[in-house]
Structure formats: structure tokens, C-alpha cells
């Protein structure tokens, strides 16, 4: 395995349409400089272009490499804050 992703397809009232959440995207460390992650996201963007209005994902600014990678792919910070309640 070189990479994998977990995608969640759902309706968003806030955005007014179908969304794809990239819940996980992992590329093996030794394969990262080869453009595999970028190609993977671009492939799925093409697959969902007629079915969804946007992709979303979560990351932290502390995970600097992932945060910069996501930004290079066109992902931007959004005004919402993620809240959770631990059970």
C-alpha cells in the first residue's frame, strides 16, 4: 500500500449541496515527494465534480506539512470551529 483515503459523501445545509469529506488521507512517508497525494485528491475531485460542490477536510496548523500540503491543493481555512464532546 502506498496510500489510502477515507471519503464521506454527505449533504451540507450550510454549503447548500453535496460535500465530500476527506476523513483520512495517508501517503507513505517515502512516497510523499512523488505527487501521489496531489494526484489522488485531483482524481477524486474529477470523479465527484458533477456530484458534489466541494471537498472538506480537517487538519491542524501544528501539523505543518499536512497543513501546507492542503493549502497547496486549494483548501482554505473556514470560519467554523470544530466542536466535539468526548463520551
Domain assignments of the chain as residue spans, ordered by start: 3-72
| pTM of this structure | 0.84
What pLDDT, on the 0 to 100 scale, is given for residue 73? 92
Tell me the C-alpha to C-alpha distance, in Å, between residue 3 and each of 17, 26, 37, 86. 28, 5, 8, 29
Q: Looking at domain 3-72, which CATH architecture does it have?
A: 3-Layer(aba) Sandwich (3.40)
Question: 22-69, pLDDT tens digit by residue?
Answer: 999 999 999 988 999 999 999 999 999 999 999 999 998 899 989 999
**Nearest CA among 80, 81, 65, 77 for reference residue 25:** 65
Amino acid at each position: 500500500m502506498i496510500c489510502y483515503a477515507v471519503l464521506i459523501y454527505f449533504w451540507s445545509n450550510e454549503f447548500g449541496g453535496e460535500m465530500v469529506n476527506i476523513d483520512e488521507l495517508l501517503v507513505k512517508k517515502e512516497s510523499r515527494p512523488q505527487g501521489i497525494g496531489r494526484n489522488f485528491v485531483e482524481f477524486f475531485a474529477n470523479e465527484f465534480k458533477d456530484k458534489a460542490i466541494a471537498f472538506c477536510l480537517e487538519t491542524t496548523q501544528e501539523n505543518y506539512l499536512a497543513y501546507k500540503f492542503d493549502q497547496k491543493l486549494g483548501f482554505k481555512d473556514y470560519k467554523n470551529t470544530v466542536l466535539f464532546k468526548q463520551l
